[in-house]
Homo-oligomer: A and B are copies of this chain.
Amino acid sequence: MGNYRSRLDIIADILSAASRDAKKTQIMYQANLSYKVLQRYLAEVVGASLIIFADEKQCYQLTNKGREFLEAYEKYSKTNKHVEKRLNDVATKKKVLEALCPDEQLLVNDP
């Protein structure tokens, strides 16, 4: 929850930058990563053939597999956000129920 990015979020941010043909520094700024962290992730996504380094243009480009990843990520991210909202919804409904029947064992040490 919150604004902490997961590994998959970071990879999606890198691919998103590379989808616009980007140099390493551009990816670093657009994905908002330190050089060290970018190096590690770049090795991973190049290793997984999600992006390639195009020698002639001297920049990183998205592969078809990378495009597939980004599309799958959009669906995942959308569903994930929906579920997080509904989880909050469930927690609120649960609190209503607990207020109607407080757990006495939990209240033992309350003033």
A interface residues (Cβ-Cβ under 8 A, vs B): 7-8, 11, 44-45, 47-48, 50, 65, 68-69, 72-73, 75-76, 79-80, 82-83, 86-87, 89-90, 93-94, 96-98, 100-104
Whether A100 and B72, one on each chain, are in contact in the complex, defined by CB atoms closer than 8 angstroms, is yes
The residue on B at minimum CB distance from A82 is B86
Oligomeric state, in number of copies?
2
Main SS at interface, chain A: helix
Whether A94 and B47, one on each chain, are in contact in the complex, defined by CB atoms closer than 8 angstroms, is no
A102 to B69, CA, bound (A): 12
A86 to B75, CA, bound (A): 12
Whether A11 and B101, one on each chain, are in contact in the complex, defined by CB atoms closer than 8 angstroms, is yes
